[in-house]
Amino acid sequence: MNPGAKKILLAGLAFAVVYGLLNSLSNIFLLPSAPIISMRPQIALPMVVGILVHPLAGFITGFAGNMFGDAVYGFGALKFWNWHIANGLMGWIPGLVGYGGIRRIGTVREFGILQMSLVGASAAGVAAAVVLDVFFIHLLTFPYSFPSWILPAFLTDAVNAFILVPVILLLARRIRLTLETRTILMITGLLLVSILATAGAITWAVLDDLVSHSAMVENFYIAAVVSVLLLVAGFIAAIVFVRKVTDPLADLAQAAQAVEQGNYDLPGLAGVSARADELGRLARIFEQMAGKVREREKTLQRQVDELKIIIDRKKQAQDVSEIVETEYFLALKEKARKFRET
Amino acid sequence: MKHDILDLAQCFFYTAADFGKEDAMPEIIAIHSFRGGTGKTNTTANLACLLARKGRRVGVVDTDIQSPGIHVLFNLDPKDAPHTLNDFLWGKCDIGRAVYDVSRILGAEDKEKLFLIPSSIRTGDIARVLHYGYDINLLKEGYQKAIEQFALDYLFIDTHPGLNEETLMSIAVADTLLILLRPDQQDYQGTAVTVEVSRQLEVPRMFLIVNKVPTAFPGDALAAKVTAAYNCDVAGVLPHADEMMALGSSGLFCLMHPNTALGRAMEDILRRITA
């Protein structure tokens, strides 16, 4: 599927309107201590558009949507133009991954690439906004803006995208439910619940205690950063773990396919059969089985080689002449010859 | 007289229906084996069915007058077939009246694709033909007429095993002869005689088909052996299929199990013999 330019533009703009309205709405719920950054679950929208429609459609949704949202909310359409670009990049980058060949996510590797592209897109978007500000806009001040603006922008986008985009792709059936994806989704889900519960508890404590609010802000960001680091580290660990289980299964499937095609040399299985665990045992049994099949095939081949079609030529000639020398046969032959000629 | 007019109308209709189609010569394909039980009737029915499925108009003649059987596979009740090949051979009816459309076994959409000329199952009829015999010219004329009247592309002849006079006739009228054998010492000698006799009868094209081959037997190697032993092309090696046995002639294998090794092997045979 390769949508035309018109379709990309229309889809991008249509979702931009939705995205803009959601942006202006969510500005009501600002993050603690961040003056302008809000909790933004809608960041998933340009990303999903970028993945499902086209990277450029994702860019348009992010860019135009942010502009529209700022205008509606009253910031002015052009004031934070660097953040329009940031949002555009966030819609564009995950789409590149989807557009680059992962049509449907079915393996841990593909899922890992997707999730990392979401975090990467958030980081790249925020970084671009910061760099543009430093050179052209000069609104940010360092180091003050870092905890109050830059970090919350990245955190909210990265975490929201990390949770919501896979959910939406799952609903859109762009994630195939394989053993690999089921396992990684489950582990990721558990990871998110435990980390977000911790982060949420800390946040609640901060919000509740208005007196020590400002004092706690610093702790809050440390907790948030640690949470995200934990999330990423846990996610990578989960990917490694799941692949340790599922890669041998892929090797086994490949070996089974080779046997099905009559190829009994299975060097690809050596790694799995060297394992001491259950999968290693399965691989070893499989190798033995392939060996047996090979032997049986050889036996059959030998049987055919040994098969002798014994024809007594003398008796054959005698039987043939007994038939072909009869008058009946000669007459028949003559008649057959005649109607073949006509 | 009334029937002649009907026949003429039918003939005209089929010719009109065929107008513009590529005009390949109709072909008579006889299927034979020296011994019984090689799977002749089943193979004939299945090959005919597969060809009809491809949109060709196919006729099947049961010339196994001594022990007719193919009507069972085509689901034709002898009660619904008052006229048979026997009646034609005695001059009791025109060949056209012994032709029955059995296309409904192919499926609901297929019409006028598959026709059967059955043999009589009445013992009196059987004994009479065997006693008096019939003439090859009459048989050939009958086939020719049936082919023309029903605009057939192929006419399959299912024969009686062995090399009696009726069988020799079927071989003599055929454009293509398929000889079935099993990979069994019992079949080898007789097949060699059949091949040689058929050569002497100057059959234009002749193929061997090895049937009931143990599954997983390397077919190519077996085909090469058979080709060398008989100096005759092998059209195909058909693996033994439990599904075929389970059917017990209560249906057509190629319709029920098209995607099996046997189904694919039959398709290969058709490709080779109709090439």
Residue boundaries of the structural domains of chain A? 1-176, 255-306, 315-342
Contacts of A189 (CB under 8 A, 6+ apart): none
pLDDT score of A283:
94
A102 three-state secondary structure = coil
pLDDT score of A212:
55
Contacts of A91 (CB under 8 A, 6+ apart): A46, A47, A49, A50, A55, A57, A58, A59, A60, A61, A62, A63, A121
pLDDT surpasses 60 at B68: yes
Q: How confident is the model at residue A228 (pLDDT cuts 50, 70, 90)?
A: confident
Q: Which amino acid is at A58?
A: G
Max avg pLDDT among A124-128, A239-243, B74-78, B239-243: A124-128
Cα-trace Rg, chain A: 34
Chain B residue closest in CA terms to A297: B216
Q: Is residue B3 in a domain? A: no
pLDDT > 90 in chain B, percent? 57
- CATH number of A1-176: 1.20.5, 1.10.1760, 2.30.130, 1.10.760? 1.10.1760
pLDDT score of A40:
83
Determine, for residues B136 and A310 on separate chains, whether the beta-carbon distance falls below 8 Å: no
- Average pLDDT rounded to a whole number, residues A216-235: 76
Q: Is residue B17 in a domain? A: no
- Distance (Å, rounded) from C-alpha A338 to C-alpha A334? 6
Q: Is residue B12 in a domain? A: no
Chain B residue closest in CA terms to A299: B217
- Residue B28: give the domain boundaries: 24-274
Determine, for residues B221 and A335 on separate chains, whether the beta-carbon distance falls below 8 Å: no
pLDDT score of A30:
60
Beta bridge partners of A298: none
Determine, for residues A303 and B185 on separate chains, whether the beta-carbon distance falls below 8 Å: no
Alpha helices, DSSP H, located in B174-213:
185-200
CATH code where residue B104 lies: 3.40.50.300
Measure in Å the smallest separation between the Cα of A268 and chain B Cα atoms. 25
Q: Is residue B6 in a domain? A: no
Beta bridge partners of B30: B157, B177
pLDDT score of B123:
86
Domain count across chain B = 1
- Distance (Å, rounded) from C-alpha B136 to C-alpha A70? 97
pLDDT score of B191:
95
- Distance (Å, rounded) from C-alpha A103 to C-alpha A120? 20
Spatial strand order of the sheet with B100-101 comes to B100-101, B114-117, B58-62, B154-158, B27-32, B176-181, B205-213, B234-239
Q: Is residue B11 in a domain? A: no
Optimal mutation site among A320, A326, A333, A341, interface B, most CBs of chain B within 10 A: A320
Chain B residue closest in CA terms to A317: B193
Tell me the per-residue pLDDT of B135-182, one tens digit each, with 9 for 90 and over. Answer: 888 999 999 999 999 999 999 999 999 998 888 999 999 999 999 999
Optimal mutation site among B28, B35, B197, B230, interface A, most CBs of chain A within 10 A: B197
- Tell me the two tokens of residue A188: 């990721």
Contacts of B161 (CB under 8 A, 6+ apart): B32, B33, B34, B35, B36, B38, B40, B167
Predicted complex: ipTM over 0.85: no
- Tell me the two tokens of residue A199: 């982060």
Q: Which is nearest to B116 in space by CA: B40, B63, B55? A: B63
Q: Is residue B261 in a domain? A: yes
Q: Is residue B35 in a domain? A: yes
- Distance (Å, rounded) from C-alpha B239 to C-alpha A7? 55
Please list the helix, strand and coil fractions of chain A in percent, rounded to the nearest 5, in that order.
Answer: 80, 0, 20
pLDDT score of A199:
72
pLDDT score of B247:
82
Helix (H) or strand (E) holding B171: helix B165-173
More confident residue, A232 or A214: A232
pLDDT score of B23:
55
- Average pLDDT rounded to a whole number, residues A301-325: 89
Q: Is residue B18 in a domain? A: no
